[in-house]
């Protein structure tokens, strides 16, 4: 699986044209950690030239970190985003060689997609660009570059990536997906008294333990710098309280979606698996063998799948090509992973999902989905 990073870039001038500069940074797509920063005063130039220079610097920094990574470029310049996406023609002669340079850089990387964001969501790159413009206005030659000397290993990679027939190690070449995806970060709620004892916890409203709240805060810290467009949560309090910690850290707005609630485990609620098997041996055996079989008085995985899929469809319509955190439970998260992989429903029985773990899926408009990470708990260490 290819690593995914986010490039945030900006540029501007005081006067257009005038003293100009750019700023760019590279983030880890899952954790939001800033991996590299670069900014430069470029003398006298226009806003558009500075914006393109910022894009080029951001792509170059990403290439130095991991040339096989998939990249989402986020800029508040509608012009650059639309031109690099191929939807607008490049008419100004000064832009043509800069766009060509950016395309050449992008062609040597993994999949590169361009997303327009409002200026307030590009504040870090904007701040770097303003520092560069200040230096240009003072007539200084100024450059800032912070890129680790040793390239960090991409997280969530297990072994060598497959080689395509042309010898590229970039796994996205195996996919037909086009355009920027809708990205879902999937966060299981923190620990509850029942999860600590590995008991069935369905639609009952069980609170977080003190440890569960600490886990929620740890997840919030890991996501603090992540540019989230929204946080969507199950209506159950263990998820809403986990989501509240992330919202407080990121400023993202929280929305409740009933479709992402946990399975109703009926008579098994509050029991361990062993206790349920002792009382309902035939029913447990049937439940394990067939996802359409519900627990006594409860809900089957087939039924849960229908409402989770409807909730996913709503999310993709309302937040198309945005990044959304979904705070949910074991079953809905596993169902989203199953949907992304095109796996059978029986695969739910073969996945392990820890409390407060993070997973990441990209959903593309033309159908394909890509599971980027699963059950990551590094933020809890």
Catalytic (active-site) positions: 189, 262
Q: Report CA-CA distances (Å) from 48 to 18, 94, 126, 137, 139.
A: 12, 9, 14, 17, 20
Residue 265 is given by DSSP the state -
Rounded CA separation 146/43 (Å) = 21
Task: Confirm if 329 and 205 have CB atoms less than 8 A apart.
Answer: no
Q: Report CA-CA distances (Å) from 17 to 49, 91, 95, 251.
A: 9, 18, 14, 35
> How many Cβ atoms are within 10 Å of 110's Cβ, its own excluded?
22
Task: Confirm if 10 and 51 have CB atoms less than 8 A apart.
Answer: yes
Task: Confirm if 21 and 11 have CB atoms less than 8 A apart.
Answer: yes
Strand partners, 73: 7, 114
The secondary structure element, H or E, covering residue 234 is none
Residue 270: phi and psi, rounded to 5, are 85, -5
């Amino acid at each position: 699986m290819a690593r995914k990073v986010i490039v945030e870039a900006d540029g501007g001038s005081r006067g257009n044209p005038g003293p100009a500069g750019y700023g760019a940074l590279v983030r880890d797509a899952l954790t939001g950690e800033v991996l590299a920063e670069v900014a430069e005063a470029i003398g006298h130039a226009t806003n558009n030239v500075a914006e393109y220079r910022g894009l080029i610097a951001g792509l170059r920094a990403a290439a130095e970190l991991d040339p096989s990574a998939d990249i989402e470029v986020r800029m508040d310049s509608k012009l650059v985003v639309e031109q690099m996406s191929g939807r607008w023609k490049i008419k100004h002669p000064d832009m043509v060689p800069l766009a060509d340079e950016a395309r050449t850089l992008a062609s040597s990387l993994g999949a590169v997609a361009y997303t327009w964001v409002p200026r307030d969501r590009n504040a870090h790159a904007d701040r770097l660009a303003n520092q560069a413009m200040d230096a240009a206005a003072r007539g200084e030659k100024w450059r800032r570059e912070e890129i680790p000397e040793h390239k960090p290993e991409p997280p969530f990679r297990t072994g060598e990536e497959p080689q395509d027939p042309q010898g590229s190690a970039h796994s996205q070449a195996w996919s037909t997906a086009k355009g920027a995806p809708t990205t879902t970060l999937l966060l299981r709620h923190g620990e509850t008294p029942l999860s600590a004892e590995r008991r069935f916890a369905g639609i009952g409203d069980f609170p977080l333990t003190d440890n569960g709240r600490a886990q929620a805060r740890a997840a919030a810290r890991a996501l603090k710098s992540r540019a989230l467009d929204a946080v969507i949560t199950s209506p159950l309090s263990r998820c809403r309280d986990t989501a509240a910690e992330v919202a407080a850290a990121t400023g993202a707005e929280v929305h409740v979606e009933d479709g992402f609630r946990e399975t109703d485990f009926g008579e098994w609620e509050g029991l361990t698996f062993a206790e349920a098997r002792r009382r309902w041996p035939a029913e447990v055996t049937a439940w394990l063998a067939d996802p359409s079989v519900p627990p006594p008085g409860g809900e089957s995985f087939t039924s849960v799948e229908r409402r989770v899929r409807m909730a996913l469809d709503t999310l993709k319509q309302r937040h198309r090509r945005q990044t959304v955190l979904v705070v949910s439970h074991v079953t809905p998260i596993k169902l989203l992973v199953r949907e992304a992989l095109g796996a059978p429903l029986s695969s739910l029985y073969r996945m392990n999902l820890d409390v407060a773990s993070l997973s990441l899926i990209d959903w593309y408009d033309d159908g394909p989905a890509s599971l980027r990470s699963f059950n990551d708990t590094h933020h809890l260490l």
